[in-house]
C-alpha cells in the first residue's frame, strides 16, 4: 500500500498517525520496556507465591517464608511501579504528539494567512479541530499503540514460562488466545453492520435534544415547550431502544472474551487438578507439582489481561483515524513560490504598484487573477468592483499580503507595510471595547484618545448602544453588538492604529442601505481628513459613487478603469 | 436541597434497573473470586491427595463448581452491562426532560447565552457525566462492597477472624489510597474546565481575527501566548493524569501486598494446624481475586467528584429559572387588550435609554411602521413591546394589566412576536408550522405558505409538508426560512403581531406580493413592523422614525 494517495498528496490517516509518532518514539519504547519489565516481575511474583505454598505444604522446614514474602513484595512493588511508568510513558507520548500538533496548527494559520485558512475550514472548525479532534488522538497514542506491543509481548513471555512448566497447559492457553479475536471479529462485524444501518437515525435522535434547546426561544413563543419536552423524552426513549439493540450485540463480543478467559482458567485448574491427582497419565501431566500447578494458575488471568485491555482500546484507533483524516489537510502547506521582499514603487506618489500579477488557488485550474497591472496613488480612494467571484477579495488579500502571487510583482511603499483591515464582519475580540481598541497599538492608548477615535468613527462613547462605555463587554460572536456598530468600532480601531493605508473588503454588504450610507459618509470624510489611501472591494453603488476611482474586475482581469 | 439530594431524587425513579445492574456486577466479581479461590483450593487438595497426604477427595464436585463459576461470571457480566446501560439511557431521558423543563423557565435574555457553543457543549457533557453515575460510580462501590462482604464471610467461615481482619484493613487502605489520588487529581479539575473554555475563546479570536491580527502586527504575539497557554494546560492535564495512574496502580499494589500478607498468615495458620493446606491457598487466591473489585474504586471515586461538579453546574440551570413552566394547555379566558405604551423608553440600562419616551398604541387597520438606521433601538423596542426586555421607563399595558407582570403563557397568547432570526426546528415543514397548534389541517398550512409566496416554489421542487428542514433549516435558503417563520406567525391567531424586518433579503416584487396577501391579516390586529425600507409599506400605514 503506497503511503501517499497520488491525487490529493495527502498521506493516508494511518501513515499520518505513524509519521506524527516518529519524533516521539522514545516514549513508546519506554512504555514497551516498562510493560515488559512489569510482566517479568509478575512472573517472579507468581513463581514466589507458588513456591512458598508448595514448600509450606511439602517441606516446611526448608522454607525461609519471611525472605520469600519479602522477595515477592519487592517483585510486587516493581511490577506496579513499572506499570505506572508504562501508563505514564503512554500519556507523555500522547501529550508530546498533541502539543506538537497544536503548535503546528497555530503556525499553519500564521504562515498561510487568512485566505488559505478560510479556504480549508471556517474558523469555528479550526477551533474544534484544535481542541477536540487533536484530543481524539489521546487514546491512540496513550493506550492503543503501547497496547499493540503488550498484546504480543506479555502473552508471549507468559506462554514461554508456562511452556517451560508444562507444555500441555501452554498449548491450552495458546489455543484459546487466537480464538478470542476470531470470535470477537465475527460478532464485531455483526455489530458493525447493525451500527452502520442505525447510525444516521441515531445521530438524528442524539442531536434532537440540543436542537430543541437551541430553538427554545421559538418553542416558547409558540407555547410548545411542554410538547417539545415530551418529544425530547420520546426521542430519548427511541434512541435508547436503538442503542440497546446495538449494544446487546456489541457486548456479546466482550462476553465471548470473558467466556474464553474464564473457561480457559477453569479448564486449566481442572487439568492441573486432575493431573496432580494422578487421573491423567498423558504427556507432562504426570510431572506436575503443586508449585508448577499454582504457578500456572496464578499466571493464567494475566495472560488474558492485555487482550482485554487491547480490545477496549480498539475504538481509540477508530477515533484517531477519523481525527487524522480531518487534521491532515489543515496542515498541508499552502505552497506558492516565496517571493523576494518587494521593493518600494519607483515614484514616491505611488502607494502600491502591481505589475503582471497572477494568483492561483491550489485546487482550481483557472487563475483567480490574471496579469494585473495597477498603480494606486497616495490618498486615492479606490473602489474595486465586479460580480462575485471576479477576484475582488483576492486582490484585496493580495494587497494585504494574505496571499502570495504566483507571478508578477507587488511593490508597496515602505511606510505602508502596516495597514488597517476591515472585512465584511469586522472581528471584535472577546473582552471589553477598551481591549479591542488597545489592539490597534503596541503602546498603551489613553482613554481620551479612545473616546476621540470612537467619536470620529461615529459611535461616541456615551452612545446608549455602549451601555458601559469603554467597558462594554464584547462576547463570543459579537452578541449584543449590531453589524453597523461593529464596523464603527473597527474604524475607531483603525484611527488609533494610525496607518495611512486602509483595505476594506465589502465593509457594508451586511448592512441595510441607510446604515451603509451613514457609515460610508463617516469613512470617506475620515480618509479625506487624514490623507488615508483607501482600497474598498464592493459591489454596491453607494461605494462607487463616493470613490475617486473605480476599477472593475471580471473573471480575474481588470476590465475597465473609470 | 443539596447536590446529593438532587442526585437522589434524580435516580430514585430508575432505582430498579440500577439495583439489578449492581447486583449483577457483584455476582460477576464474586464468581470471579470464587473461580480463583476454588481453583486454588482444588489443585492444592488434588496435589495433597495425589501425594497421599489427603486420604479421600471428591474431585468431581469442585471441578463442577469451577465450571459453574466460569459460566456464571460470563453470563452475569453480559447482563450487567445490558441492564447497566439500560439504566443509564433511561436516566439520560429523565435528565434531558428535567434540564429542558428548567431552561424553558429561563428569562428570555438569559436564553441568549445558550447560543454559545461552549455552554451547549458543557451542558451535554455534564448530562453525560451524570447519567453514568449508577453505572460508573455507585455500581463499582456497591459491587466492591458486596464482593468484600462475601470474601469476609468466607474468611470468617473457614479461618480464624484475623483473616477477615486482614481483608477489612486492606479495604480501608484501598479506600484511602483511591480517595487521596482522586482528591489530588481533582484539585485541578475545576480549574481545567474554566481554562478550557477560556482557551476556546482565545482560539476563536486567533483563527477568526487572523486578518486583524496580521494587519495590526499582533499575530506573532498572540500565537506565542496561545502556544504558551496550551503548553501550560497540557502540563496541568499531565499532572492530573499522573494522579489517576498512581491511584490505579497504587490500589493494585495494596491488593497484592494484602495477598502476600494473607499468604504469610495462612501458611502460618496452616503450620499451627488452624486451617488446612487447601484452605490456606483458597484464602490467598480469594484475596488476589479482590483486585478486580477494589481496583475499580479509584475510578469510581474520581468520577464521584466529577459528577458532583456536573450536578452543581446543572443545578445552576435550575437557579436561573423563573416562574412556572409555560404550559401549552388552553387556560382561563384571555384578558382583553389593547396593547398600549405610555412614555415608554427602551434600552439595556436605565440611565442610557436607546429610544424613548414613546407613546405607542397601534390600531387595527393601521399597522405601525418603525424605521431608522441600525443601532437606534428598533429591535430593542420590539423586544420590549413583546415583554421580553424590561422597559427602562414608562408604562406598558395590556388592557387593565401591566404587560411586564403578565404570566408568560398569557403573554404569549396575546403577543405574536417574530424576531429577525427564528431558529426553526430540525423537523418537517409541517411540524414547524404546526408548532403550538398541532391540529391545524394541511390545507391551512398550504394556504399560508401560498400567502408568503413559497408554496409554488416548494411544489415545483416536489417538496411535501413532510419535507425535512434540517438543522437550523439548512435545507432551505435564508430567505425561505424567514418566510416559513412568517407563515408560522400567520397561523397563530393572536391579537398583537410584532414583526422585525420580516422581508429582509427579499426583492421588492416578492415583498410587495407577500404584503398584498398578508395585509388583511396584519390589519386585523394590533401590528408593529420594523423595517429599513418604509417606502415599500402601504402609504396609509402610520410611520414612526427612531
3-state secondary structure B11-78: HHCCHHHHHHHHHHHHHHHHHHHHHHHHHHHHHHHHHHHHCCCCCCCCCHHHHHHHHHHHHHHHHHHH
Q: Would the CB atoms of B212 and A84 count as touching at under 8 Å?
A: no
A370 domain-assigned: yes
- Selecting from A65, A216, A293 the residue whose C-beta is nearest the C-beta of B267 gives A65
Q: What is the mean pLDDT of residues B314-336?
A: 68
What SS3 class is residue B166? helix
Find chain B residues with C-beta within 8 A of A103's C-beta: 227, 230
Q: Would the CB atoms of B242 and A91 count as touching at under 8 Å?
A: yes
A298 domain-assigned: no
A241 domain-assigned: yes
pTM of the entire predicted model: 0.84
What is the structure's pLDDT at A39? 97
On whether both A134 and A8 belong to a single domain, the answer is yes
Q: Would the CB atoms of B47 and A479 count as touching at under 8 Å?
A: no
What is the structure's pLDDT at A4? 39
Q: Would the CB atoms of A131 and B203 count as touching at under 8 Å?
A: yes
On whether both A472 and A329 belong to a single domain, the answer is no
Residues B143 and B22: their CA atoms lie apart, in Å, by: 6
- Total number of domains in chain A: 3
Residue of B25, B28, B210 for testing the chain A interface, max A β-carbons within 10 Å: B210
A211 domain-assigned: yes
What is the structure's pLDDT at A159? 93
Higher-confidence residue of B507 and B205: namely B205
What is the structure's pLDDT at A342? 63
Residues B424 and B420: their CA atoms lie apart, in Å, by: 12
On whether both A72 and A150 belong to a single domain, the answer is yes
- Tell me the average pLDDT of chain B: 86
On whether both A9 and A117 belong to a single domain, the answer is yes
A508-533 pLDDT, tens per residue?
Answer: 877 777 778 888 888 898 888 888 89
Higher-confidence residue of B329 and A37: namely A37
Least confident of A75-84, A318-327, A513-522, B327-336: B327-336
**Percentage of residues in chain B having pLDDT higher than 90:** 34
What is the structure's pLDDT at A98? 95
Tally of residues, chain B? 546
Is residue B116 scored above 70 in pLDDT? no
A297 domain-assigned: no
B419-475 pLDDT, tens per residue?
Answer: 888 889 988 999 999 998 889 999 999 999 999 988 887 777 778 888 888 877 878
What is the structure's pLDDT at A430? 86
**Nearest CA-CA distance, residue B203 and chain A, Å:** 6
Find chain B residues with C-beta within 8 A of A233's C-beta: 93, 96-97
What is the structure's pLDDT at B326? 56
A253-301 pLDDT, tens per residue?
Answer: 778 777 888 888 888 888 998 888 888 877 787 788 999 999 999 999 8
**Nearest CA-CA distance, residue B39 and chain A, Å:** 5
Q: Which of A330-339, B147-156, B402-411, B444-453 has the highest mean pLDDT?
A: B147-156
What domains sit in chain B, N to C, each tagged with a CATH number?
A: 3-320 (1.20.1560.10), 339-545 (3.40.50.300)
Find chain B residues with C-beta within 8 A of A477's C-beta: 115-116
Q: And the C-alpha cell for B137? A: 460510580
Is residue A311 scored above 80 in pLDDT? no
> What angle is formed at CA B209 by the lines to CA B204 and CA B212, rounded to 5 degrees?
165
Q: Would the CB atoms of A53 and B263 count as touching at under 8 Å?
A: yes
Q: What are phi and psi of B225, to 5 degrees?
A: -65, -40
Q: Would the CB atoms of B210 and A123 count as touching at under 8 Å?
A: yes
What is the structure's pLDDT at A62? 87
Give me the DSSP letters along A164-202: HH-HHHHHHHHHHHHHHHHHHHHHHHHHHHHHHHHHHHH
A294 domain-assigned: no
Least confident of B78-82, B267-271, B476-480: B476-480
What residues contact residue A317 under an 8 Å CB cut-off, 6+ apart?
A139, A140, A144
Query: Considering A278, A301, A334, which residue would you say is the last residue of a domain?
Result: A334
Is residue A189 scored above 50 in pLDDT? yes
Q: And the C-alpha cell for B448? A: 399560508
Is residue A490 scored above 50 in pLDDT? yes
On whether both A147 and A118 belong to a single domain, the answer is yes
Domain hosting residue A241, numbered range: 167-287
**Nearest CA-CA distance, residue A211 and chain B, Å:** 7
**Percentage of residues in chain B having pLDDT higher than 70:** 95
What is the structure's pLDDT at A339? 53
What is the structure's pLDDT at A3? 39
On whether both A155 and A238 belong to a single domain, the answer is no
CATH of the domain at A548: 3.40.50.300
Q: What is the mean pLDDT of residues A320-342?
A: 75
Task: Match 481628513 to its residue by C-alpha cell.
Answer: A529
B256-299 pLDDT, tens per residue?
Answer: 999 999 999 999 999 999 999 999 999 999 999 998 899 888 88
What is the structure's pLDDT at B327? 56
- Cβ–Cβ < 8 Å for B188, A119: no
Find chain A residues with C-beta within 8 A of B277's C-beta: 56-57
Q: And the C-alpha cell for B4? A: 446529593
ipTM, two decimals: 0.86
* Band (A1; pLDDT cuts 50, 70, 90): very low
A292 domain-assigned: no
A92-143 pLDDT, tens per residue?
Answer: 999 999 999 999 999 998 888 888 888 888 888 888 889 888 998 999 999 9
Residues B128 and B468: their CA atoms lie apart, in Å, by: 28
* Band (A51; pLDDT cuts 50, 70, 90): very high
Residues A403 and A407: their CA atoms lie apart, in Å, by: 12
Q: Would the CB atoms of B89 and A240 count as touching at under 8 Å?
A: yes
On whether both A524 and A377 belong to a single domain, the answer is yes
What is the structure's pLDDT at B310? 81
- Tell me the average pLDDT of chain A: 84
On whether both A134 and A89 belong to a single domain, the answer is yes
What SS3 class is residue A382? strand
Is residue A450 scored above 60 in pLDDT? yes
On whether both A17 and A53 belong to a single domain, the answer is yes
- Determine whether B351 is exposed, middle or buried from the number of CB atoms within 10 Å of its CB (0-12, 13-18, 19+): exposed
A390 domain-assigned: yes
On whether both A61 and A210 belong to a single domain, the answer is no
On whether both A198 and A327 belong to a single domain, the answer is no
On whether both A394 and A506 belong to a single domain, the answer is yes
B374-422 pLDDT, tens per residue?
Answer: 777 888 899 899 888 888 888 898 888 888 888 888 888 899 999 888 8
What is the structure's pLDDT at B162? 94
Is residue B118 scored above 70 in pLDDT? no
What is the structure's pLDDT at A2? 38
Is residue B513 scored above 50 in pLDDT? yes
B288-306 pLDDT, tens per residue?
Answer: 999 889 988 888 888 887 7
Amino acid at each position: 500500500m503506497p503511503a501517499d494517495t497520488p491525487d490529493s498528496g495527502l498521506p493516508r490517516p494511518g501513515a499520518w498517525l505513524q509519521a506524527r509518532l516518529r519524533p516521539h518514539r522514545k516514549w513508546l519504547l519506554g512504555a514497551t520496556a516498562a510493560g515488559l519489565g512489569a510482566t517479568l516481575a509478575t512472573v517472579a511474583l507468581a513463581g514466589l507465591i507458588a513456591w512458598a505454598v508448595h514448600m509450606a505444604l511439602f517441606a516446611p522446614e526448608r522454607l525461609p517464608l519471611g525472605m520469600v514474602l519479602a522477595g515477592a513484595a519487592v517483585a510486587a512493588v516493581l511490577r506496579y511501579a513499572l506499570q505506572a511508568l508504562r501508563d505514564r510513558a503512554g500519556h507523555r507520548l500522547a501529550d508530546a504528539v498533541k502539543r506538537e500538533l497544536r503548535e503546528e496548527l497555530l503556525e499553519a494559520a500564521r504562515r498561510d494567512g487568512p485566505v488559505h485558512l478560510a479556504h480549508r475550514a471556517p474558523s469555528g472548525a479550526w477551533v474544534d479541530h484544535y481542541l477536540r479532534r487533536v484530543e481524539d488522538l489521546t487514546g491512540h497514542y496513550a493506550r492503543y499503540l503501547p497496547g499493540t506491543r503488550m498484546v504480543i509481548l506479555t502473552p508471549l513471555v507468559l506462554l514461554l514460562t508456562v511452556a517451560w512448566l508444562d507444555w500441555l497447559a501452554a498449548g491450552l492457553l495458546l489455543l484459546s488466545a487466537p480464538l478470542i479475536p476470531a470470535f470477537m471479529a465475527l460478532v464485531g462485524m455483526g455489530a458493525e453492520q447493525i451500527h452502520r444501518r442505525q447510525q444516521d437515525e441515531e445521530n438524528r435522535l442524539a442531536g434532537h435534544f440540543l436542537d430543541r434547546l437551541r430553538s427554545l426561544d421559538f418553542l416558547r413563543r409558540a407555547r410548545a415547550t411542554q410538547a417539545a419536552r415530551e418529544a425530547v423524552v420520546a426521542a430519548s426513549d427511541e434512541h435508547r431502544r436503538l442503542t440497546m439493540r446495538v449494544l446487546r450485540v456489541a457486548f456479546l463480543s466482550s462476553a465471548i472474551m470473558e467466556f474464553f478467559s474464564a473457561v480457559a482458567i477453569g479448564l486449566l485448574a481442572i487439568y492441573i487438578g486432575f493431573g496432580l491427582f494422578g487421573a491423567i497419565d498423558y504427556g507432562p501431566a504426570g510431572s506436575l507439582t503443586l508449585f508448577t500447578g499454582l504457578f500456572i494458575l496464578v499466571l493464567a488471568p494475566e495472560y488474558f489481561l492485555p487482550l482485554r485491555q487491547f480490545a477496549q482500546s480498539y475504538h481509540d484507533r477508530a477515533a484517531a483515524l477519523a481525527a487524522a483524516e480531518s487534521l491532515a489537510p489543515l496542515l498541508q502547506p499552502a505552497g506558492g513560490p516565496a517571493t523576494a521582499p518587494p521593493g518600494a514603487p519607483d515614484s514616491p506618489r505611488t502607494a502600491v504598484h502591481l505589475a503582471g500579477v497572477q494568483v492561483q488557488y491550489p485546487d482550481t485550474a483557472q487563475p483567480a487573477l490574471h496579469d494585473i497591472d495597477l498603480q494606486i496613488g497616495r490618498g486615492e480612494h479606490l473602489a474595486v468592483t465586479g460580480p462575485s467571484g471576479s477576484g475582488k477579495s483576492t486582490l484585496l488579500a493580495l494587497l494585504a499580503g494574505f496571499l502570495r502571487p504566483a507571478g508578477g510583482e507587488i511593490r508597496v511603499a515602505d511606510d505602508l507595510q502596516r495597514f488597517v483591515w476591515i472585512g465584511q464582519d469586522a472581528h471584535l475580540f472577546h473582552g471589553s471595547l477598551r481591549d479591542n481598541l488597545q489592539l490597534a497599538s503596541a503602546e498603551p492608548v489613553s482613554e481620551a484618545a479612545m473616546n476621540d477615535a470612537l467619536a470620529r468613527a461615529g459611535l461616541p462613547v456615551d452612545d446608549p448602544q455602549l451601555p458601559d462605555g469603554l467597558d462594554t463587554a464584547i462576547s463570543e460572536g459579537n452578541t449584543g453588538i449590531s453589524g453597523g456598530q461593529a464596523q464603527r468600532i473597527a474604524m475607531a480601531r483603525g484611527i488609533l492604529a494610525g496607518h495611512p493605508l486602509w483595505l476594506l473588503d465589502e465593509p457594508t454588504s451586511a448592512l441595510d442601505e441607510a446604515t451603509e450610507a451613514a457609515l460610508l459618509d463617516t469613512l470617506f470624510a475620515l480618509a479625506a481628513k487624514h490623507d488615508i489611501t483607501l482600497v474598498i472591494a464592493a459591489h454596491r453603488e453607494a461605494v462607487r459613487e463616493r470613490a475617486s476611482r473605480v476599477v472593475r474586475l471580471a473573471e480575474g482581469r481588470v476590465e475597465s478603469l473609470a | 436541597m443539596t447536590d446529593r439530594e438532587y442526585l437522589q431524587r434524580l435516580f430514585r425513579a430508575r432505582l430498579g434497573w440500577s439495583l439489578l445492574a449492581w447486583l449483577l456486577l457483584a455476582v460477576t466479581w464474586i464468581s470471579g473470586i470464587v473461580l480463583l479461590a476454588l481453583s486454588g483450593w482444588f489443585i492444592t487438595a488434588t496435589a495433597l491427595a495425589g501425594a497421599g497426604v489427603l486420604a479421600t477427595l471428591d474431585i468431581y464436585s469442585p471441578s463442577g463448581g469451577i465450571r459453574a463459576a466460569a459460566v456464571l461470571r460470563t453470563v452475569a457480566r453480559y447482563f450487567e452491562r445490558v441492564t447497566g446501560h439500560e439504566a443509564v439511557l433511561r436516566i439520560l431521558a429523565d435528565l434531558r426532560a428535567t434540564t429542558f423543563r428548567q431552561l424553558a423557565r429561563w428569562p428570555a435574555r438569559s436564553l441568549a447565552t445558550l447560543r454559545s457553543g461552549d455552554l451547549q457543549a458543557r451542558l451535554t457533557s455534564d448530562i453525560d457525566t451524570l447519567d453514568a453515575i449508577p453505572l460508573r460510580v455507585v455500581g463499582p462501590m456497591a459491587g466492591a462492597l458486596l464482593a468484600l462482604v462475601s470474601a469476609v464471610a468466607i474468611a470468617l467461615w473457614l479461618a480464624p477472624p484475623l483473616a477477615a481482619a486482614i481483608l477489612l484493613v486492606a479495604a480501608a487502605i484501598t479506600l484511602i489510597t483511591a480517595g487521596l489520588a482522586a482528591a489530588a487529581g481533582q484539585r485541578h479539575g475545576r480549574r481545567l474546565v474554566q481554562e478550557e473554555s477560556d482557551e476556546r475563546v482565545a482560539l476563536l479570536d486567533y483563527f477568526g481575527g487572523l486578518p486583524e491580527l496580521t494587519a495590526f502586527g499582533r499575530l506573532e504575539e498572540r500565537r506565542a501566548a496561545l502556544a504558551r497557554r496550551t503548553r501550560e494546560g497540557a502540563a496541568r492535564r499531565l499532572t492530573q493524569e499522573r494522579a489517576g495512574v498512581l491511584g490505579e496502580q497504587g490500589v493494585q499494589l495494596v491488593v497484592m501486598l494484602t495477598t502476600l500478607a494473607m499468604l504469610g498468615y495462612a501458611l502460618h495458620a496452616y503450620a499451627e494446624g488452624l486451617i488446612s493446606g487447601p484452605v490456606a491457598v483458597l484464602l490467598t487466591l480469594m484475596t488476589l481475586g479482590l483486585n478486580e473489585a477494589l481496583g475499580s474504586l479509584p475510578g469510581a471515586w474520581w468520577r464521584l467528584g466529577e459528577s458532583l461538579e456536573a450536578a452543581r453546574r446543572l443545578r445552576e440551570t435550575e437557579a436561573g429559572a423563573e416562574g412556572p413552566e409555560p404550559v401549552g394547555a388552553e387556560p382561563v379566558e384571555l384578558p382583553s387588550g389593547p396593547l398600549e405604551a405610555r412614555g415608554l423608553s427602551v434600552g439595556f440600562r436605565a440611565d442610557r435609554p436607546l429610544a424613548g419616551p414613546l407613546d405607542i398604541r397601534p390600531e387595527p387597520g393601521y399597522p405601525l411602521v418603525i424605521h431608522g438606521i441600525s443601532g437606534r433601538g428598533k429591535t430593542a423596542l420590539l423586544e420590549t413591546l413583546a415583554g421580553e426586555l424590561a422597559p427602562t421607563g414608562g408604562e406598558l399595558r395590556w388592557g387593565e394589566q401591566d404587560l411586564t407582570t403578565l404570566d408568560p403563557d398569557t403573554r404569549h397568547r396575546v403577543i405574536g412576536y417574530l424576531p429577525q432570526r427564528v431558529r426553526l426546528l430540525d423537523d418537517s415543514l409541517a411540524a414547524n408550522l404546526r408548532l403550538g397548534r398541532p391540529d391545524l389541517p394541511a390545507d391551512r398550512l398550504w394556504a399560508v405558505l401560498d400567502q408568503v409566496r413559497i408554496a409554488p416554489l416548494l411544489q415545483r421542487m416536489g417538496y411535501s409538508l413532510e419535507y425535512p428542514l434540517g438543522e437550523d433549516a439548512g435545507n432551505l435558503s435564508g430567505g425561505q426560512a424567514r418566510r416559513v417563520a412568517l407563515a408560522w406567525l400567520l397561523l397563530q391567531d393572536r391579537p398583537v403581531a410584532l414583526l422585525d424586518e420580516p422581508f429582509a433579503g427579499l426583492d421588492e416584487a416578492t415583498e410587495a406580493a407577500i404584503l398584498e396577501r398578508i395585509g388583511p391579516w396584519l390589519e386585523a390586529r394590533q401590528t408593529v413592523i420594523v423595517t429599513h425600507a418604509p417606502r415599500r409599506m402601504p402609504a396609509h400605514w402610520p410611520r414612526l422614525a427612531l
